[in-house]
Amino acid sequence: MVDIAANLRDVRRRIAEAADRGGRDPAEITLVAVTKLFTVAHIQAAYELGVRHFGENRVHEAAEKIPIVNQWVEERALSPLTWHMVGHLQSRKAKDAIQLFDVIHSVDSLKLAERLDRVLPLFPAPLPPKVGGIEGGGGRKEGRKIMPILLEVNVSGEESKYGFALDRWAEDEEQRERFFAIVEEILALPQLEVRGLMTMAPIVADPEEARPCFRRLRHLRDALAERFPGEHWRHLSMGMTDDFEVAIEEGATIVRIGRAIFGERRET
């Protein structure tokens, strides 16, 4: 295994330095360690180094690892961790995702949001209500599980990306208003708590090239906060191994980092 301790130290230092450059408080930035294609042993090693937020991108793989890790944590009476679903989620997997995850970053359609809202009441809230989610998120309403979610948006226009298409939202009123109408419907769903936006930047050679994408996401968040006042828009989940420092300078509150902590993934 690579030296996870050294890598994590390095990532934390780079997060703090980027926060500093952006005039931000590093305490408001949550590191989610993305463990897809890494093992339970990797997760445990990061946990022992203080990581409490983990991300997976596929329900099937998560279902094999999360219960093992949760049991390991419970048996040792360790502090709870928070599981983030960061990958594309099919509506028919909504139930499984609810069982496994505490936060879903990848809500990219009204259909998926409605499906999550409809099946959530089937699940009792964790007792005691799980702390975490993303601060204050999660928990319960009338004994039923509430799911904090982020809306995944595609602000780069890359066709390979999931997310609500918002590459021209600032100048294209129709695109913007179509999205805002969907947002209004999602905000009305009682079992979901919208907490912000998530995006994946295009893969580029120089992280500076991702900056406009992160900046567009922040401006979109500001526009949403103006239109729909309240607590919904606090989080910007953006930035991965190759671009997290730029994302933090542009306002990320959640960075999703895998390779910089755990090394390269094996090919599947």
Ligand X SMILES: *Cc1c(COP(=O)(O)O)cnc(C)c1O
Binding site for ligand X (CB under 6 A): 34, 36, 57, 86-87, 200, 240-241, 256-259
Q: How many angstroms separate the CA atoms of 154 and 201, rounded?
A: 8
Cβ at position 207, least distance to ligand X in Å: 12
Nearer to ligand X, 161 or 176 (CB): 161
The full DSSP string for 33-89 is EE-TTS-HHHHHHHHHTT--EEEES-HHHHHHHHHHHHHHHHHTTPPP-EEEE-S--
Measured on CA atoms in the order 55, 67, 122, 141, is the torsion positive or negative?
negative
Cβ at position 145, least distance to ligand X in Å: 23
Cβ at position 14, least distance to ligand X in Å: 13
Q: Which residue is nearest to ligand X (CB)?
A: 258
Nearer to ligand X, 32 or 192 (CB): 32
Number of H helices, E strands in the chain: 9, 11
Nearer to ligand X, 81 or 89 (CB): 89
- How is residue 92 annotated by DSSP? G
Beta bridge pairs of residue 141: 144
Nearer to ligand X, 213 or 257 (CB): 257
Nearer to ligand X, 46 or 86 (CB): 86
- Distance between alpha carbon 222 and the CA centroid of its chain, in Å? 18
Cβ at position 108, least distance to ligand X in Å: 11
Cβ at position 241, least distance to ligand X in Å: 3
